[in-house]
């Protein structure tokens, strides 16, 4: 069953006792985005995935940063991540919000940890991600910025570093990559 995005009115009462602008509400917004994007990646559902992001979108990692200015750039990133997950038999993306807060009425910052699993085996070391969500004029929360702390997965790191850049024929796994 496809998960629909939370809109602003739904996040006002996202959990019993949750106050608008509370940490619990910020956490619910982050968890919703993680659930939607994770399922879209596992299902190969590009339309569900792209609906979770703003354009432009900023992406940062240890290897640099990129501004993705087009739907084509987001699609390149989606295809690279989906390919990595398929090639490594990822069956589950387990992500949990570590911390979340409102920094403005329409901006949420949160940090989460990601575990990629192939059945019960960890595919790569756990990595952390900082995300910035913004509330759109249509009342839907979308991710505007991500900062990844990925190590031990060179192919995935390259894909993130090159997202939105000109297509690189060398982006596929190179011989000797052990990720």
Q: Sign of the CA dihedral 47, 49, 54, 57? A: negative
pLDDT of residue 61: 80
Q: What is the pLDDT at residue 117?
A: 96
Mean of all residue pLDDT scores within the chain: 80
Gap between the Cα atoms of 13 and 103, Å rounded = 19
**In this predicted structure, what is the pLDDT of residue 98?**
97
Summarize pLDDT for 10-38 with one digit per residue, the tens.
544 344 444 568 999 999 999 999 999 99
Average pLDDT over residues 131-157: 86
pLDDT at site 45: 95
| Cα 48 to Cα 75: distance, rounded to the nearest angstrom | 12
Written as six digits, the tokens of 45 are 């559902």
CA 78 to chain centre: 10
Q: How far is CA 109 from CA 51, 60, 68, 117, in A?
A: 19, 15, 19, 26
Q: What is the pLDDT of residues 54-70, one digit of tens each?
A: 999 998 887 778 889 99
Is-contact 68 50, C-beta < 8 A?
A: no
pTM: 0.76
What is the pLDDT at residue 100? 97
The predicted pLDDT at position 19 comes to 56
Mean pLDDT of 37-57: 94
pLDDT digits (tens, 9 = 90+) for 159-174: 666 654 433 333 333 3
Position 173 scores a pLDDT of 35
Q: What is the pLDDT of residue 20?
A: 63
Using pLDDT thresholds of 50, 70 and 90, give the confidence band for residue 178. very low
pLDDT for residue 166: 37
**3-state class (DSSP) for residue 168:** coil
Sign of CA dihedral 153, 159, 162, 166: positive
Please state the separation of Cα 138 from the chain's center in Å.
20
- Residue pair 160/63 in contact (Cβ under 8 Å)? The answer is yes
pLDDT of residue 172: 34
């Amino acid at each position: 069953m496809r998960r629909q995005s939370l809109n602003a009115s739904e996040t006002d009462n996202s959990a019993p006792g949750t106050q608008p602008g509370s940490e619990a509400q910020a956490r619910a917004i982050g968890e919703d985005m993680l659930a939607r994007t994770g399922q879209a990646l596992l299902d190969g559902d590009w339309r569900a995935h792209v609906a979770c992001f703003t354009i432009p979108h900023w992406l940062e990692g240890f290897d640099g940063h990129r501004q993705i200015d087009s739907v084509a750039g987001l699609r390149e990133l989606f295809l690279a991540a989906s390919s990595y997950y398929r090639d490594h038999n990822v069956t589950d993306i387990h992500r949990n919000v570590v911390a979340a807060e409102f920094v403005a009425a329409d901006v949420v910052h949160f940090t989460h940890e990601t575990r990629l699993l192939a059945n019960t085996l960890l595919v790569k070391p756990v990595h952390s991600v900082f995300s910035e969500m913004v509330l759109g004029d249509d009342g839907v929360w979308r991710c505007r910025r991500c900062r990844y702390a990925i190590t031990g997965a060179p192919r995935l790191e390259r894909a993130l570093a090159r997202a939105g850049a000109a297509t690189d024929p060398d982006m596929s796994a190179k011989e000797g990559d052990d990720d």
